[in-house]
Amino acid sequence: MPDMTVNLAGIALKNPVVVASGTFGFGREYSRFYDLGELGGICAKGLTLHPHTGNPAPRIAETPMGILNSVGLENPGVDAFIAEELPFLRQFDTKVIANISGNTPEEYGVMCEKLSAAGVDLIEVNISCPNVKAGGLAYGTRPELAAEVTEEAKKHAGDVPVMVKLSPNVTDITEIARAAEGAGADALSLINTMRGMRVDVNTRRPVLKMNTGGLSGPAVLPVAVRMVWEVAQAVSLPILGMGGVAKGEDAAQLMLAGACAVAVGTALFADPFAPLHVRDGLKEIAACQGLEAVSELTGGIRPW
């Protein structure tokens, strides 16, 4: 049987399958289905410095092989996470990845300091949120803004590695990836959701109350594979690949394109056991190909 352990920015994961931020809450709900120690890691629900109630409903719309969401970072704030949720997650033999969003670089810094002191395994920096100071421009869409946030996070994260989560809503994702690498990021995760919209033709209203939302699910998998492949060639950082992973083969595609590990998100909504099925499918693929370790898949693509 192939060795399933992988290394992500110096963190040893027991298997390459983690769950994506925003799809798994803080683990409590799915812990009723299986031992969370089965997972390689858990990206917790995105945190902000202060509590957020999120956007008005409807916050979800189904689309061809995908979903749109506009939850809007509903979360109890970083302090409540540290006090109430982190001790719960720490009971399980799995890596805990905190995901953070800020309105200013300083907010990212403060959150990193708190999370580093509290002891998480990895900090995932969401740069898809708007920069209040830069007039609401998303950090993830400008290399210089992405670099500024990455630098600030690194400065305050102590020994905890920093992984920057890239948005696909850009012309050239490698530009942002290079900027994050240059600013000291330890890893990259991609892709976040793609902006989309669905309209109810009878009411002529968008289904989402926020009009637009983020697309995820199998529909985005090919975009994720392409972007992981491009980024893997542009930087030498480890990559957590995500976007529409629902089975072992999807995960293997992302790994071959260059990812060290993969995250499962939207697939959870149809099947709470999806991450375990992806892990088992990945193991089977590695075994069938006679690999000694699943990590041999990473970057193993043979492009034409």
- Half-sphere exposure at residue 302, Cβ-oriented, CA atoms within 13 angstroms: 0
CB 27 within 8 A of CB 7: no
Task: Give CA 272 to chain center in angstroms.
Answer: 18
Helix (H) or strand (E) holding 249: helix 248-257
Helix axes 221-234, 248-257, angle to 10 degrees: 30
Q: How many residues bind another protein (CB under 8 A)?
A: 35
Q: Which of residues 51-80 bind another protein (CB under 8 A)?
A: 53-62, 65-67, 69, 71, 74
What is the contact mask toward another protein in residues 184 to 223, using x (rule: CB under 8 A)? ---------------------------------xx-----
- Nearer to another protein by Cβ, of 76 and 300: the residue is 76
* 288 carries an active-site annotation: no
CB 94 within 8 A of CB 14: yes
Q: How far apart are CA 155 and CA 85, in angstroms?
A: 25
109 binds another protein (CB under 8 A): no
Q: Both tokens of residue 86?
A: 């982190």
37 binds another protein (CB under 8 A): no
45 binds another protein (CB under 8 A): yes
First to last CA, the chain: 30
Segment contacting another protein by CB under 8 A, of 16-24, 93-101, 221-229, 275-283: 16-24
- Half-sphere exposure at residue 179, Cβ-oriented, CA atoms within 13 angstroms: 20
300 binds another protein (CB under 8 A): no
20 binds another protein (CB under 8 A): no
CB 261 within 8 A of CB 298: no
What is the contact mask toward another protein in residues 266 to 295, using x (rule: CB under 8 A)? x-xxxxxx----------------------
How many Å is the Cα radius of gyration of the chain?
18
- Nearer to another protein by Cβ, of 208 and 240: the residue is 208
- Nearer to another protein by Cβ, of 58 and 182: the residue is 58
Q: Just list the catalytic residues.
A: 129
Q: Which residues bind another protein (CB under 8 A)?
A: 22-25, 28-30, 32-33, 45, 53-62, 65-67, 69, 71, 74, 217-218, 266, 268-273
